[in-house]
Structure 1
């Protein structure tokens, strides 16, 4: 529940968005496909729905609350660690699902305290602290298992197993249009390291960067924006920002978020450099840039 400017309660309405109309339960109307690697199964979680005391992030004026199925377990409480991944989406009944690689819909029970809203532009998924963790169109990665739900929910099919998400949600690839309009202002600086530097060669055109918000934000890196990649005869410079968070937070190390970078040219024998480490940039004097921002260089004779 949020507070209106005059102090009166201002609950987000639960109902169809302007472009969406609820047409009943998905039970029996859609087939959920297990989105599990490793075959983990769970015995079923009680569906408890939204929590009244969950912090609510700032919402657009036209946001509505989505009826998100949640369990009585917090993220990290579960013992099932099978890797699940898919693209976050919302269906014609305002039900959240993950689309797997075959574009099949996988419905899920989310961790306790998770909530979702929809507005005229996006679906927004929030964690138990009220921080936005993903939007529709984002490729996300979670851990958990699959099995039946112990109680009914209008967004869970009754004839198929559903995913039981038991970890925090991580965005592995944001939807291409997710970078904010430049008129809205820049993002916050972020540093990065190569996830598998040993796997890079002169012919590499794709790499995974582990991106970390530079400033204090209570351990949360947030949404990674599309990087700026600059090419010169001696360097390939990749500069990351993350979605701006004016509120900041405490200063434990922020969690790294993987991001796949597509290069327009092979690396060749050029050095791979973090652009935030260049002189005058935000991270230049930090420990992240002790090597001058060098993230990879070709071995001698390569």
Structure 2
């Protein structure tokens, strides 16, 4: 489990690998993970890029891949130079679903006692913005993984689906809950009950994805550029928490919290004016604010 691994605080230092691996693997640009590629991108290397890398299996989400993903996410979150993270896949698939080979022999007791898929939730606990750059298939667990991210940029060939019903099961990593919130009850029920897929344009119109970056599949350059823009234009950590709170609070409660945190951004304005940086808000540097 990724939560039990010891990580070094410095992103350029070595990380301890999964127990099953005999040797240490350095985490740096082009680090030699087995199932993912992790590196820094963007202006001044402020964007952490994680690319799912099981092309022969269409990036099926095996246990080892999720462990490595969590490891990279935690490292980027602890790196003060990284302000946003982009998660992407390949030209054919963002991720075609959970690895069925790992699931097919599991019993109810196996799933219940091991809390199967629980370690997938680490992505939802990130305090830095995570952007899914989706090209190709985002099916089942892949669709759920994309929806755990804060923003979805869907390439022109992206397709989304929750086809679990076709193999006699249901979404198990928040699919029914996030999909219903994203596209509404009617379309969500149609997708979950039929297993039908929707295109990038349909996803955008339904409110699930945003934009279709014109970039080669599997090369998330435009998404990294946009991630860097998010970092420098807004106060990402505060905004991120407020958007999440909108699902949990009433409009009145959420508006009160928004005003308080809006006021807090001005704690840095006077300092910026005195240093000639009044054109930019840097409220994400405020300490002591958690969500």
TM-score by length of 1: 0.26
Q: Which of the pair is proportionally richer in helix?
A: 2
Q: Which of the pair is proportionally richer in strand?
A: 1
TM-score by length of 2: 0.27
Q: Which has the higher contact order (CA 8 A, sep 6+)?
A: 1
Higher Cα Rg, which structure: 1
